[in-house]
Amino acid sequence: MQQETIAEINLSALRANYRHLASLAAPAGVIAAVKADAYGHGAVDVSRCLADEGCRMLAVVTLGEALALREAGITQDVLVMGVVDPGRAEQVLAADVVVALHGMAHAAECEAAARAAHGRMRCHIMADTGMHRLGMDFEKTVVLAGRLKDSDSAVVEGLMTHMSHSEQADLDHTELQLANLRRIVAELEARGLRPPMVHAANSATLMRCPDALYDAARPGITLYGINPCREYARDVPLRLAMTLSAPIALVKDVAPGEGVSYGHLWRATVPSRIAALPVGYHDGYTRALSNKGVARVEGRLAPVVGSVCMDTTLIDVTKIPAAHVGSRAMLIEPEADSPLSVYALAELLDTIPHEIVCRITGRARRVYVDEG
């Protein structure tokens, strides 16, 4: 009897999603985003699976994420999209990872640090085409590309940007950003400075804007089966890859009028059977689901009652006589139309599905299944 919370990851779903996205991107390549522990799915196992599928480049946000992949034996190119501390140049060079350059000063510091370490840092320039979060404007992007052309300590292998509105119905701002990128690319080409790889298309842009593909697409959340814009994106047959379940650890009777959990936010109105699950907000099952969430036990729905605790969640199994210690309670299901899907949970919590899966911490044991 499994007495632990389990996040089951369906690698067959991951493979199918990757193949669909790669076909959309073709002939451009795919840079697979495995940041944030592969959106909660486990970066090492996901990266191995994607490598099996022929993915040649992975994207993370921190150098620590990149080094963890290297330590696990992942040999694919790894792009660190966040701002890397130039003081860690020796680690960057030793791990042979690719660094994003976000500003003139940042680039100069990285170049100097690589020179001091007697190496040549592989770089992608981040252009800010309208998101105004990271990266450089048109002029600085072009100037930096020219400055680094003959550098002995930095080599520009790519140009990248990120879209701020591609998940929204109105694509006007996305088209503006793409026009800004085209202007940058045209100027770099005119000066003989265009890098080998230009990439701009995140998941939503890949599905909606074929003219944004350039040399590679950079899907993230869609790899894991989540469509960020279901209402108006191209029909891509994605499969949700994660389920979350926890066993019933204890069942107890609660009399009418008695309250449960912190603050007694729920009180029984009839004689009730309450089951305790060893999962809570430390595992990523958020406290915001107190008195709102629902689990599926023995094929039937059971409401979450009372406050979700750090380590324990209570559900009402009064109407599920088959529920017993050891019964598994499903908390996230892979069917898109389920009341326990990431879409339903995101709507309930007024957030996005991305956050639902990214919340799931390492305490929930990852179990990988592959139908093939």
Closest C-alpha to 348, from 311, 302, 293: 293
Task: Please give the C-alpha separations between residue 15 and each of 22, 66, 157, 358, in angstroms, as whole numbers.
Answer: 10, 22, 28, 19
- Residue 154 near residue 124, CB atoms below 8 Å: no
Closest C-alpha to 195, from 304, 301, 245, 122: 122
Task: Point out the catalytic residue in the list 35, 39, 214, 281.
Answer: 35
Closest C-alpha to 365, from 2, 3, 6, 1: 6
Residues 6+ apart with CB under 8 A from 9: 41, 42, 45, 46, 241, 242, 366, 367, 368, 369
Task: Point out the catalytic residue in the list 149, 232, 252, 262.
Answer: 262
List of long-range contacts for 108-115, beta carbons under 8 Å, 24+ apart: 110/84, 110/86, 110/154, 111/148, 111/151, 111/153, 111/154, 112/86, 112/153, 113/86, 113/87, 113/89, 114/89, 114/153, 114/154, 115/152, 115/153
Provide the pairing of β-strand 216-217 with 197-201.
Answer: parallel
- Residue 84 near residue 110, CB atoms below 8 Å: yes
Distance spanning both ends of the chain, measured CA to CA? 26
The question of whether 35 is a catalytic residue gets the answer yes
Provide the pairing of β-strand 98-101 with 121-126.
Answer: parallel
Rounded-to-integer distance, Cα 29 and Cα 54, Å: 10
Q: Is the dihedral of CA 136, 142, 145, 150 positive or negative?
A: negative
Closest C-alpha to 165, from 228, 236, 74: 228
The question of whether 262 is a catalytic residue gets the answer yes
- Residue 249 near residue 325, CB atoms below 8 Å: yes
Query: Looking at the annotation, which residues are catalytic?
Result: 35, 262
